[in-house]
Structure 1
């Protein structure tokens, strides 16, 4: 059975790119463009991995990660944070919120897929 990955990204082009790359690798993908819908969609989809943009309109990816890690159904799902903010201390703050992986944009496909595979290998079944 294909691993399920939810992509939370408000930028249409980035969301499509991430989803197309993941689908080409055989993953089942659930794209989410609105962060306000992310946790409800995650509860319904129950992904093996969540890829989370940090700068979202209306709610931050940090809040969503904290919300997922506080949710009994979602807390064990690994989160890969992807952000254009790569300043000093940003990775620490993102990891403190509960992210299991971190990539700075622009993201290259090789490191992106390596991070996805690494997190899925360590994810609960």
Structure 2
């Protein structure tokens, strides 16, 4: 069965590149451009993995992650922070709210899919 990945990203270029790389490896990609859309699509689509940008319009990635993790029907879905936030403590903050991993942007297209596959 084809694995489904929700990418929450408001930057068109980042979304395009991540989608392209994942689809080339056979994954089904679902896109959301803000935190509210991410919550809605997680509830309706039930993806196998969520790649969550942190700096988002409407509701940021931290808050969207907290809300998803608080809902019993979807709290088990792994979330990986995919973010340009790379200051001391940002990784720890993402992990503390429930993310299972943290990937810094810009990500390396050569290793991106193999990094993601660790969480599936």
| TM-score normalized by the length of structure 2 | 0.95
Match of 1:9 in 2: 9
RMSD of aligned Cα (Å) = 1.0
Q: Residues 34 and 60 of structure 2 are in contact (CA less than 8 Å); yes or no, is this contact kept in structure 1?
A: no
SS for the counterpart of 2:21 is helix
Match of 1:100 in 2: 100
Quote the offset at 1:112 in angstroms.
2.1
Per-residue CA deviation, residues 92-122 of structure 1 (Å, 9 max, x unaligned), is: 00100110010111100233212211100xx
1:115 and 1:68 map into 2 onto residues whose CA distance is 22
1:38 and 1:25 map into 2 onto residues whose CA distance is 23
The runs of 4+ residues in structure 1 deviating greater than 3 Å are none
1:20 and 1:53 map into 2 onto residues whose CA distance is 17
Per-residue CA deviation, residues 70-90 of structure 1 (Å, 9 max, x unaligned), is: 111211111110111100001
Q: Which range moved further: 28-37 or 51-60? A: 28-37
Higher share in helix = 1
Match of 2:24 in 1: 24
Match of 2:64 in 1: 64
Q: 1:111 to 1:101 in 2, by over 3 A?
A: farther
List aligned pairs for 1:17-56, cutoff 5 A.
17-56=17-56
| TM-score normalized by the length of structure 1 | 0.91
